[in-house]
């Protein structure tokens, strides 16, 4: 656009203005003395701070634009690196455009408003100054929304960030950092999920704690830190993460093939007993208990809270039992009292010594002639390839469940079949059955793993993987990513 030339009086002619319904601050000094909403409702700061919650369900009620403006105005009063304020916000309140955003990620399909937050792409990445500044703005907006009786949800899982940018017309120079969903809450959690205690996470002058490792290497994890971490995971809400469909399919097929509805040699009238070992979130325990209703389920875990949480997920409620450390109200599983013990995708998180102790403990818990069902991720499979792909793309890209975990869900190292079978034999277990699944990623996993790729690259990778998958399918017994073994204890 050419700039308008001065008129005869020497004044700049007024620029063609977009029709303005009301003043959005264009004529006002933005020194904090003016804000879109007048007067601002009085709210107690601490009340707002502690009662803000992430809202996952919104009503359809539209949000008036002066409230959206007020939220964004609170945002731009956040600190920014060098005060460069290289942020740009696009509030999408047009249902049709929001529907297109929702196609990129279901998380953008919940609220009547999605505020796209972008920051100067190449602005100092020193210590992520761009991301930090944008985050300060987002948090200001979240608190302002709470003060105005609105709810927010901070979205990083937006699917293809470039597609989001294109959809709202932001230039390439702007990086979409996050999206803040905004609206009136339909469901509002009564209380916030628990926080780690202040004394555990804060220090004066010198760090005096024991950090929870951020490594996937089981050797880096002291067993008590693992117990603390899992307790935090379960109690703080990571329990909401669901296994991916391809993980579930492998498990369900193995269950159907390997585990009978009731044990073959069960005494008449007896209730078969199943012990699920280290279930952590209990999602799989619950699923198994629904598919094998004849069994009574108990669970064994590292902390009483986690064990109780999982044992309460089955019907009738199971016993919460302890490994490796029992306490007065938290007993070890009684010896020889289970028909079946399952340990699904948990040996990968243990140090070699702990693994050997667990094999022996499981042999104690099961009755003579009883079964041990083990599931593990195969070191000699494409698992390593998906992990390196994730690493190359800059760390965690969305939290996944235990069968293909992100580094932020605890220790996890795929195991070789030989390791599993040798260690089991050393603890006295006899191998009865072997199964392996998915020597190559299934179509839904492939679509998921390539969801942030450009269309051309995605097509190429998916095509190549499908071709390799066809070649590898006959090898799934040995090269399948998900491996299952059934062992029997000597009679
Ligand atoms: C950067 C970021 C990303 C988040 N992504 C998700 C998400 O993908 N799914 C989800 O249910 N919650 C997500 N949340 C919300 C957190 O789970 C939530 O903040 C946390 O459980 C504490 O609850 P509260 O916000 O109600 O206090 C995200 C929060 C932040 C800050």
The response to whether residue 135 sits with its C-beta less than 6 Å from ligand 1 reads: no
Question: Structural domains in the chain?
Answer: 45-187 (3.40.109.10), 232-489 (3.40.50.150)
Rounded to 5, what percent of the chain is helix, strand, coil? 40, 20, 45
Residue nearest to atom 8 of ligand 1 (CA): 157
Confidence of residue 237 (pLDDT cuts 50, 70, 90): low
CB 178 within 8 A of CB 134: yes
The response to whether residue 357 sits with its C-beta less than 6 Å from ligand 1 reads: no
Which ligand 1 atom is the nearest neighbour of the CA of 399? 8
Q: How many angstroms separate the alpha carbon of residue 440 from the centre of ligand 1? A: 32
Which ligand 1 atom is the nearest neighbour of the CA of 56? 11
Which ligand 1 atom is the nearest neighbour of the CA of 138? 31
* Alpha-helix runs per DSSP H in 280-322: 283-291, 304-311
The response to whether residue 330 sits with its C-beta less than 6 Å from ligand 1 reads: no
The response to whether residue 479 sits with its C-beta less than 6 Å from ligand 1 reads: no
Which ligand 1 atom is the nearest neighbour of the CA of 178? 1
Residue 11: count other Cβ atoms within 10 Å of its Cβ.
8
* pLDDT at residue 401, as a whole number: 44
Highest mean pLDDT among 9-18, 136-145, 218-227: 136-145
Paired strand residues for 275: 298, 341
Residue nearest to atom 30 of ligand 1 (CA): 154
The response to whether residue 408 sits with its C-beta less than 6 Å from ligand 1 reads: no
Which ligand 1 atom is the nearest neighbour of the CA of 189? 26
* pLDDT at residue 215, as a whole number: 80
Residue nearest to atom 14 of ligand 1 (CA): 154
Q: Is 269 helix (H, G, I), strand (E, B) or coil?
A: coil
* Residue of 92, 76, 96 whose CA lies nearest to 84: 76
d(CA 476, CA 27): 68
pLDDT at 22 over 70: no
Confidence of residue 124 (pLDDT cuts 50, 70, 90): low
Walk across the sheet containing 366-377 and list its strands. 320-322, 296-301, 273-277, 338-344, 366-377, 482-489, 429-437
pLDDT at 10 over 50: no
CB 452 within 8 A of CB 160: yes
Burial category of 198 from C-beta neighbours within 10 Å (exposed 0-12, middle 13-18, buried 19 and up): exposed
pLDDT at 379 over 80: yes
Highest mean pLDDT among 36-40, 107-111, 380-384: 107-111
* Residue positions counted in the chain: 491
Q: What does the pLDDT look like over 306-353, one tens digit per residue?
A: 999 999 999 999 999 999 999 999 999 999 999 999 999 999 999 999
Q: How many angstroms separate the alpha carbon of residue 450 from the centre of ligand 1? A: 23
Pocket test for ligand 1, best of 49, 51, 52, 54 (most atoms within 8 A of CB): 54
pLDDT at 402 over 50: no
* pLDDT at residue 240, as a whole number: 55
pLDDT at 416 over 60: yes
Percentage of the chain with pLDDT > 90?
A: 64
CB 134 within 8 A of CB 177: yes
The response to whether residue 478 sits with its C-beta less than 6 Å from ligand 1 reads: no
pLDDT at 89 over 80: yes
The response to whether residue 192 sits with its C-beta less than 6 Å from ligand 1 reads: yes
Q: How many angstroms separate the alpha carbon of residue 33 from the centre of ligand 1? A: 33
The response to whether residue 398 sits with its C-beta less than 6 Å from ligand 1 reads: no
* pLDDT at residue 16, as a whole number: 40
* pLDDT at residue 18, as a whole number: 45
The response to whether residue 396 sits with its C-beta less than 6 Å from ligand 1 reads: no
Lookup: tokens for 94: 């047009």
d(CA 53, CA 90): 23
Which residues have a Cβ under 8 Å from the Cβ of 267 and sit 6 or more positions away?
A: none
* pLDDT at residue 405, as a whole number: 43
d(CA 32, CA 40): 13
Q: How many angstroms separate the alpha carbon of residue 331 from the centre of ligand 1? A: 35
Q: What does the pLDDT look like over 93-120, one tens digit per residue?
A: 999 999 999 999 999 999 999 999 999 9
Cα–Cα distance list, 1 to 5, 13, 26, 60 (Å) = 12, 15, 21, 39
- φ/ψ of 452, rounded to 5, equals -100, 10
Residue nearest to atom 25 of ligand 1 (CA): 54
Residue nearest to atom 11 of ligand 1 (CA): 56
Q: Is 398 helix (H, G, I), strand (E, B) or coil?
A: coil
CB 445 within 8 A of CB 247: no
How many whole angstroms from its chain centre is CA 437? Answer: 24
pLDDT at 256 over 60: yes
CB 188 within 8 A of CB 55: yes
Cis peptide before 324 (omega within 30 of 0): yes
Q: How many angstroms separate the alpha carbon of residue 154 from the centre of ligand 1? A: 6
DSSP type of residue 210: -
Window from 67-76, 172-181, 193-202, 422-431 with minimum mean pLDDT: 193-202
Mean pLDDT score across all residues of the chain: 88
CB 384 within 8 A of CB 414: yes
Q: How many angstroms separate the alpha carbon of residue 211 from the centre of ligand 1? A: 22
pLDDT at 399 over 70: no
Residue nearest to atom 28 of ligand 1 (CA): 154
Q: Which pTM value belongs to this model?
A: 0.75
């Amino acid at each position: 656009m050419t700039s308008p030339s001065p008129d005869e009086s020497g004044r700049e002619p007024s620029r063609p203005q977009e029709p303005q319904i009301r003043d959005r601050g264009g004529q006002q000094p933005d020194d904090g003395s003016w804000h879109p909403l007048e007067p601002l409702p009085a709210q107690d700061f601490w009340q707002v701070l502690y009662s803000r919650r992430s809202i996952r369900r919104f009503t359809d009620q539209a949000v008036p634009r002066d409230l959206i403006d007020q939220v964004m105005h609170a945002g731009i009063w956040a600190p920014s690196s060098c005060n460069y304020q290289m942020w740009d916000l696009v509030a999408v309140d047009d249902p049709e455009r929001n529907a297109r955003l929702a196609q990129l990620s279901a998380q953008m399909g919940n609220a009547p408003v999605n505020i796209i937050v972008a920051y100067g792409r190449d602005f100092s990445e020193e210590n992520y100054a761009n991301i930090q500044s944008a985050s300060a703005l987002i948090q200001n907006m979240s608190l302002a929304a709470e003060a105005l009786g609105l709810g927010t949800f901070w979205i990083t899982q937006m699917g293809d960030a470039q597609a989001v940018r294109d959809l709202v017309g932001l230039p390439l120079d702007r990086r979409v950092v996050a999206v803040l969903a905004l609206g009136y809450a339909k469901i509002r959690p009564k209380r916030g999920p628990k926080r780690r205690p202040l004394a555990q996470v804060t220090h004066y002058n010198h760090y005096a704690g024991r950090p929870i490792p951020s490594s996937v290497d089981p050797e880096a994890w002291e067993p008590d830190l693992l117990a603390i971490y899992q307790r935090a995971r379960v109690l703080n809400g990571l329990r909401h993460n669901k296994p991916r469909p391809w993980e579930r399919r492998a498990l369900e097929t193995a269950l159907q093939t390997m585990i009978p509805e009731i044990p073959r040699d069960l005494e008449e009238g007896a209730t078969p007993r199943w012990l699920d070992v280290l279930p952590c979130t209990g999602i799989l325990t619950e699923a198994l208990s629904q598919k094998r209703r004849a069994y009574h389920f108990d669970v064994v875990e590292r902390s009483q809270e986690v064990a109780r949480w999982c044992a309460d997920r089955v019907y009738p409620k199971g016993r919460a039992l302890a490994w490796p450390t029992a306490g007065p109200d938290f007993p070890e599983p009684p010896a020889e009292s289970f028909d079946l013990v399952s340990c699904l995708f948990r040996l990968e998180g243990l140090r070699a010594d702990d693994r050997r102790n667990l094999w022996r403990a499981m042999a104690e818990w099961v009755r003579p002639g009883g079964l041990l069902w083990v599931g593990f991720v195969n070191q000699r499979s494409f698992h390593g390839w998906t992990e390196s792909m994730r690493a190359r793309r800059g760390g965690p890209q969305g939290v996944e469940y235990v069968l293909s975990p992100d580094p932020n869900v605890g220790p996890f190292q795929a195991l070789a079949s030989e390791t599993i079978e040798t260690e089991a034999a050393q603890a006295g277990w006899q191998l009865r059955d072997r199964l392996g699944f998915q020597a190559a990623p299934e179509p839904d996993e492939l679509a998921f793993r390539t969801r942030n790729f450009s269309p051309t690259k995605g097509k190429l990778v998916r095509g190549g993987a499908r071709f390799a998958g066809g070649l590898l399918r006959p090898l799934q017994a040995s090269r399948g990513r998900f491996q299952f073994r059934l062992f029997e204890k000597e009679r």
